[in-house]
Amino acid sequence: MICSPSAVVSTLLSVGVTLASAVKRIHTGQIYGDSCNPLGTTRPPLSTERLRQRSATWLASVGNGPLGRILLRPKASTRSCPETLSPTLEDVELGIARTQPAYNGQSEAREIEALYLRTIGNAKDVIYVESQFLASHAVCDALAARLEQSGGPEVVIIVPLTAEGRLEEETMGTARVFIARRLRQSDGDNRLCLLYPTNASGTPIYVHAKIMIVDDRFLRVGSSNLNNRSMGLDTECDIAVEIRPGVRNEEVMRAAIRAARNDLLAEHLGVALNIVKDLYEAGRSPVQIIDLLARSNGRSLHHLPLPDLNPAEEQITASQFLDPEKPEAMLHKLLRLTS
């Protein structure tokens, strides 16, 4: 990292104080002050209850107004996929997993975290992941435990080379170094591939995908990242397919999930799908396929470099200051900054 410890701390403290000030204004019913009024007139403080009333009125007004409309249920169709695309799976049961923080009487849901941990724990051959972030301590513990097991699954994780922006790099980027270091220390059998992709000109591709494929029986896509916020603080929704033994068309659907993973690897490695497919059918594992086909130039996958963290970055990462698992954790830390 190129930022000095003092610069990192200064940046985070300034952000924290600003957020903490906003939190205090919300809790005291003062959502905005005179400086936020573009017309220059003085507004009285807006109470939390009054804010809820105005929000409800606004939502009701835009429901059928010029700013929005109520969406009707789409008509039943035998084909919902565009004609130019072929669906990966058809006629399968989908599971829905959510993250929902406890708030204002709303119960907490940590289904996404539970599903990650269960599928990682049940994996037999390979865990394939594409994610914008790699910062969840719970997921890291689960992956490290599998890597430490003799004969456990391979783990392939594809992430961007760097995060977007200085603050994100100092929070998500440093957390990723912390997690990646732990995973590589747990990998005694060379079953871990932690990678970033590049395009044909060698420019790193920013990965924004949220995909997980486990063996040839489990496929999930959705909004959740592998960070703490997605496990308990943010609102997330994933869908997943699990091909259980004995289901109708079991082998066809397992083949479709294998094809999806092979297709992603072929795209990242810049080769034709049949090359990856033939290597896999010849007994090569995904990690072995990557080792065989990865190139130093052009479109390919590269091992993720891990920069050294300075003491301030180590402390920020360990505190999970800007990547908490619950709303209360961030609130308490912010309020302590201005107390």
Confidence of residue 289 (pLDDT cuts 50, 70, 90): very high
CATH (domain of 242): 3.30.870.10
Same domain, 268 and 140: yes
Tens-digit pLDDT profile for residues 209-268: 999 999 999 999 999 998 888 998 888 999 999 999 999 999 999 999 999 999 999 999
Same domain, 43 and 131: no
Confidence of residue 102 (pLDDT cuts 50, 70, 90): confident
pLDDT at 28 (0 to 100): 39
Any idea which of 1-5, 122-126, 237-241, 281-285 has the lowest mean pLDDT?
1-5
Same domain, 109 and 15: no
pLDDT at 136 over 80: yes
Residue 131 lies in a domain: yes
Task: Determine the distance from the C-alpha atom of residue 165 to the mean position of all C-alpha atoms in its chain, rounded to a whole number.
Answer: 17
* Spatial contact of 318 and 193, defined as CB atoms under 8 Å apart: no
Going from the C-alpha of 46 to that of each of 37, 42, 55, the distances in angstroms are: 13, 12, 12
Same domain, 127 and 51: no
Residue 73 lies in a domain: no
Residue 10 lies in a domain: yes
Q: What is the rounded CA–CA span in Å between residue 24 and residue 334?
A: 10
Confidence of residue 293 (pLDDT cuts 50, 70, 90): very high
Same domain, 101 and 222: yes
Q: How many percent of the chain have pLDDT more than 90?
A: 48
* Spatial contact of 243 and 255, defined as CB atoms under 8 Å apart: no
Same domain, 290 and 331: no
Q: What is the rounded CA–CA span in Å between residue 330 and residue 68?
A: 33
Across the chain, mean pLDDT equals 77
Residue 83 lies in a domain: no
Same domain, 204 and 284: yes
Query: In 3-state terms, what secondary structure has residue 197?
Result: strand
Residue 77 lies in a domain: no
Q: Which residues pair with 212 in a beta bridge?
A: 129, 220
* Residue 295: Cβ within 10 Å count: 14
By residue range, what is the domain housing residue 22?
A: 5-60+325-338
* Residue 281: Cβ within 10 Å count: 10
Segment (H or E) for 337 = helix 327-338
End-to-end CA distance of the chain: 31
Report the residue count for the chain: 339
How many domains does the structure of the chain reveal?
2
Confidence of residue 279 (pLDDT cuts 50, 70, 90): very high
Same domain, 142 and 25: no
Residue 316 lies in a domain: no
Mean pLDDT, residues 104-124 taken together: 93
pLDDT at 64 over 60: no
* Residue 149: Cβ within 10 Å count: 13
Same domain, 215 and 297: yes
Residue 112 lies in a domain: yes
pLDDT at 86 (0 to 100): 84
Residue 151 lies in a domain: yes
Same domain, 122 and 212: yes
Query: In 3-state terms, what secondary structure has residue 156?
Result: strand
